[in-house]
């Protein structure tokens, strides 16, 4: 139990470090947005809105974590989704109703209007992440966030960056 708490603590610290590194200020006053309608990484669906994915980052710590964003400026990531699974669940369709958030899976959504923290469990749905060799990852997410807002994203050939 103590080891499990330590692992959770280390993964939380790593995630927070990633978030603080990824969200900074731009001195020139730019908003860091350059979402184009056609992205090689596809688009996520958030409610009725389709958002192109222009940046992908992966992190392999206590959990395998994928960060997606429509923004291309890494110093000012104000819109992103972070999805993660513990290593034992990679390659499996994980039903979030039967797994523990923050322990088995991780989901954080942030944009200028909405924020769903890692401390809020998802209502329903599935998360699938599979590492493909040393350079690619497959992600398939179809979940309902607290309050009934659906989120969907699927790409079977994302680069590991």
- Residue 81 above 90 pLDDT? yes
* 1-40 confidence digits (pLDDT tens): 545 544 444 454 444 334 433 443 333 334 444 444 457 7
Helix (H) or strand (E) holding 15: helix 2-22
29 Cβ neighbours under 8 A, 6+ residues apart:
none
Taking the C-alpha atoms of residue 13 and residue 7, their distance in angstroms, rounded to an integer, is 10
Q: Which domain holds residue 78?
A: 2-25+33-159
- Residue 73 above 90 pLDDT? no
pLDDT of residue 72: 84
- Which residue is associated with the tokens 């109703």? 97
pLDDT of residue 25: 31
* 89-145 confidence digits (pLDDT tens): 999 999 999 998 888 999 999 999 999 999 899 999 999 999 999 899 999 999 999
Closest Cα to residue 79, out of 89, 88, 87, 69? 69
What b-and-e string marks burial along 39-61, b requiring 16 or more CB atoms within 10 Å of the CB? bebbbbebeeeebbbbbbbbbeb
pLDDT of residue 137: 96
Binning pLDDT at 50, 70 and 90, where does residue 83 land? very high
Lowest mean pLDDT among 44-53, 60-69, 70-79, 139-148: 70-79
Classify 83 as helix, strand or coil. Answer: strand
Positive/negative CA dihedral, 95, 100, 103, 105: positive
Helix (H) or strand (E) holding 2: helix 2-22
Taking the C-alpha atoms of residue 132 and residue 113, their distance in angstroms, rounded to an integer, is 34
Number of structural domains found in the chain: 1
């Amino acid at each position: 139990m103590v080891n499990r708490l330590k692992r959770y603590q280390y993964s939380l610290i790593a995630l927070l470090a990633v978030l603080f590194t990824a969200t900074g200020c731009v001195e020139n006053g730019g908003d860091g947005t350059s979402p184009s309608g056609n992205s090689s990484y596809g688009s996520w669906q958030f409610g009725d809105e389709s958002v192109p994915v222009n940046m992908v980052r992966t992190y392999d710590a206590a959990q395998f974590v994928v960060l997606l964003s429509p923004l291309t400026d890494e110093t000012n990531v104000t819109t992103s989704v972070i999805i993660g699974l513990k290593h034992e669940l990679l390659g499996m369709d994980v039903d979030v109703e039967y797994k523990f958030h923050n322990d088995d899976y991780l989901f954080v959504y942030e944009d200028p209007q909405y924020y769903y923290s890692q401390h809020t469990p998802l209502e329903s749905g599935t998360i699938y992440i599979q590492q493909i060799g040393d350079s690619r990852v497959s992600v398939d997410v179809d979940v309902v966030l607290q309050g009934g807002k659906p989120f969907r994203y699927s790409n079977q050939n994302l680069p590991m960056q």
